[in-house]
Amino acid sequence: MISQAMREQVKSNSIIRAMFEEGKRLAAIHGAENVYDFSLGNPSVEPPNEVKKAILEIINEENSMAVHGYMNNSGFEDVRAAIADSLNRRFATHFTAENILMTVGAAGGLNVVFKTLLNPEDEVITFAPFFGEYRNYVRNHQGQLVVVSPNTADFQPNLEELKRKINMKTKAVLINSPNNPTGVVYSEETIMLLADILREKQKEYGSEIYLIADEPYRELAYDQVEVPYLTKYYENTIVGYSFSKSLSLPGERVGYLVIPNQATDFDNLISAANIANRILGFVNAPSLFQRVIAKCLDAQVDLESYNRNRELLYNGLVSFGYECIKPEGAFYLFIKTPLENDVEFCNLAKEKNILIVPGSAFSCPGYARIAYCVNYATIERALPGFKALIHEVKEQGSSNS
Amino acid sequence: MISQAMREQVKSNSIIRAMFEEGKRLAAIHGAENVYDFSLGNPSVEPPNEVKKAILEIINEENSMAVHGYMNNSGFEDVRAAIADSLNRRFATHFTAENILMTVGAAGGLNVVFKTLLNPEDEVITFAPFFGEYRNYVRNHQGQLVVVSPNTADFQPNLEELKRKINMKTKAVLINSPNNPTGVVYSEETIMLLADILREKQKEYGSEIYLIADEPYRELAYDQVEVPYLTKYYENTIVGYSFSKSLSLPGERVGYLVIPNQATDFDNLISAANIANRILGFVNAPSLFQRVIAKCLDAQVDLESYNRNRELLYNGLVSFGYECIKPEGAFYLFIKTPLENDVEFCNLAKEKNILIVPGSAFSCPGYARIAYCVNYATIERALPGFKALIHEVKEQGSSNS
């Protein structure tokens, strides 16, 4: 007798689960090394050495009651101050501990933000393609997710459509750069145009429209591409960050929110976010790992491993005739599927033991996401399958016409 | 421009916050050692040695990608199996890994349960006095908390009133034993009567009524008192547990839910709870500490420290003329305030640098909660203040009459 809403979740979830089971079934038949699982965004690069060092130092030297105990729901004050300092050094911002709220990963942080901001039926606008969980996070707090259709030319956000979709009920615009699933980094030009639109619309409606930046992939940017720090472009910005990818700690659930003093209603925002963190049941970000990340703010995973994967996969796929934007960040590559039906294409890929996710799961049919956070050798072994796949699909297409 | 609901939370929260600030103000004036803070349920006993040993073993010996990485949203399979085995050994139950879902503490677990079960306006019944956060947890998921008034004779639940309050919309009954704030342990007789009522009412309404047992204090029981394991008394039981108190790890946010096979709609319950854990933004219980607690299932904090505090405080207060039930569990003592107005009494206590929480905060006015998870010396030094307080209040009372 679960709730009606969860009954629907269980039903739709079981489709993804079936895919997952299929992967395990294939591995049992063909051997795990002959199944090429590009379906999950699970980091494949080890945490940097600094993490182990930090854990051992804290456990051997610090007081165990303080390390494992309750602190303010916003997190340890010294950890928040260290994060503020680090951001200030890197992005010429002016944050203090007061602007930082430690969260249970970025997912926890986004839920805190939506709990803080949303009245029932308030709208949050995001740009397709987007991480499917956004829909759940907004729904958890009785909001409505409004989706701007994808700009498949370059996967920068479709700002003209955004303008048309903003209305009285728009409480926030949610962006994710470097982007899951496209790997695209939103340019400074995009951000400035976006900020102008939001300022204009705030004036038009006499409302506050918060820009929420979900940034778990901030540190995974290649070719020295710059990822603009959004609080510098728009006052009502809230940044959500996670150490899951930058330090390969996805299981530890540690991240933070940045709420700048310039945001409208700052005092209430920061108090409400602190309370939301508590009453949603997070209570606080895990305490040991708050202390660990404070010692690892200048560390990061070996980006070159992901970069090598990116080059191998991108160059291989393009040489076979696949169309895709070269990703500038994150560890995803988003191909146009040679078959219009992306689900059908992903099923064909599965016959070659290649597991990839249909773009439909990101509200962008006709595409597929390849997560290249895998071993280099997995990509090498999978490439012939990708090549055969596009040839077969094209031959099938021409024999049909 | 925070939401209306959070605006109200910020307003009411600031009263508690003002009390907290008052404590800090008093400490600054009188010295921290002369302020007796009994307001918080923050463990005062160190984690057992096994915790440190387990952390070092895991960090030095296990694969860092596995230790800090994603796992199934329900938690590591081997950890869940170890918990099931431990419960089976201790309580003669028959659980497997499938019955266990690792959560971000008990607070996270309760939110997962309510997300899983509640349709809008569904009712959850609980017994006053109760932990105030229950109201928030139920509200997070659009449910209604229905409160059964306190049975101040012995603080066992008022089952006659429960019967009258169960109706078609009752989805769950939430109990907490050992209890916060009374320290009372619900007897086996109580549990059997409660189970009978729930079975009868399920039949009467043709509905499922889940019994949710919030058990963060299970291991803190004194004088060999037995805390009945509820799944053995009622099929539709869900148990929420936390290691915050048993291992003094409140900051680490690690606990679990037990969902027995006998529960109606088991397959959907377990699938939905797994999904709820993900979509609420918890994603999974922190990974390192899942592995740590699996190595510490036979360990616990030094209970005798809390027991000594209990004896000292209880005997002292009773000798001064305070009325209270001797707590059998947890680390709280719930006194009848010598003034009918509990808020006023707690304000008088503050003038003696004694910080305690009015029973009103637990929906039980006329009482106050004293959290004795403090240093033994703090209790010793505070007792004269408690003595003076009751004498002054009684003198004032007789001079008024």
DSSP letters of A367-388? EEEEE--S-HHHHHHHHHHHHH
Those residues of chain A that have pLDDT short of 70 are 14-17, 19, 400-401
- Give the tens place of pLDDT for each residue, A33-52: 899 999 988 899 999 999 99
Q: What's the pLDDT at A389?
A: 98
Question: What ipTM, to 2 d.p.?
Answer: 0.96
Chain B residues with CB under 8 Å of A253 CB are: 104, 253, 282-287
Chain A residues with CB under 8 Å of B64 CB are: 46-47, 51-52
Partner-chain contact A105 B283, CB within 8 Å: yes
Chain B residues with CB under 8 Å of A279 CB are: 9, 133, 136-137, 140
A103: part of which helix (H) or strand (E)? strand A100-103
Partner-chain contact A281 B281, CB within 8 Å: no
Chain B residues with CB under 8 Å of A207 CB are: 1
For chain B, domains (ranges, CATH) are 4-47+301-400 (3.90.1150.10), 49-294 (3.40.640.10)
Chain B residues with CB under 8 Å of A210 CB are: 1
- Give the tens place of pLDDT for each residue, A14-35: 666 676 777 788 888 999 889 9
Partner-chain contact A281 B104, CB within 8 Å: yes
Q: Å from A59 to nearest chain B CA?
A: 7
CB-CB: which of A47, A108, A272 is closest to B64?
A47
Partner-chain contact B133 A278, CB within 8 Å: yes
Q: What's the pLDDT at A13?
A: 78
**Amino acid at site B335:** I
Substitution target from B57, B65, B68, B111 for chain A, most A beta carbons within 10 A = B68
Identify which of A83, A128, A395 has the alpha carbon closest to the alpha carbon of residue A256. Answer: A83
Q: What's the pLDDT at B22?
A: 78
Find the closest chain A residue to B61 by CA distance: A52
- Give, for all 401 residues of chain B, the pLDDT tens digit: 899 999 999 988 766 667 677 778 888 899 988 999 999 888 999 999 999 999 999 999 999 999 999 999 999 999 999 999 999 999 999 999 999 999 999 999 999 999 999 999 999 999 999 999 999 999 999 999 999 999 999 999 999 999 999 999 999 999 999 999 999 999 999 999 999 999 999 999 999 999 999 999 999 999 999 999 999 999 999 999 999 999 999 999 999 999 999 999 999 999 999 999 999 999 999 999 999 999 999 999 999 999 999 999 999 999 999 999 999 999 999 999 999 999 999 999 999 999 999 999 999 999 999 999 999 999 999 999 999 999 999 998 777 65
Distance CA B85, CA A144 (A): 43
CB-CB: which of B119, B140, B271 is closest to A4?
B119
Non-local (6+) Cβ contacts of B103 within 8 A are B109, B112, B240, B254, B255, B256, B257, B277, B282, B285
Q: What's the pLDDT at B400?
A: 63
- Helix/strand/coil percentages in chain A, nearest 5: 50, 15, 35
Non-local (6+) Cβ contacts of A322 within 8 A are A335, A336, A338, A386, A390
State percent of chain A over pLDDT 90: 92
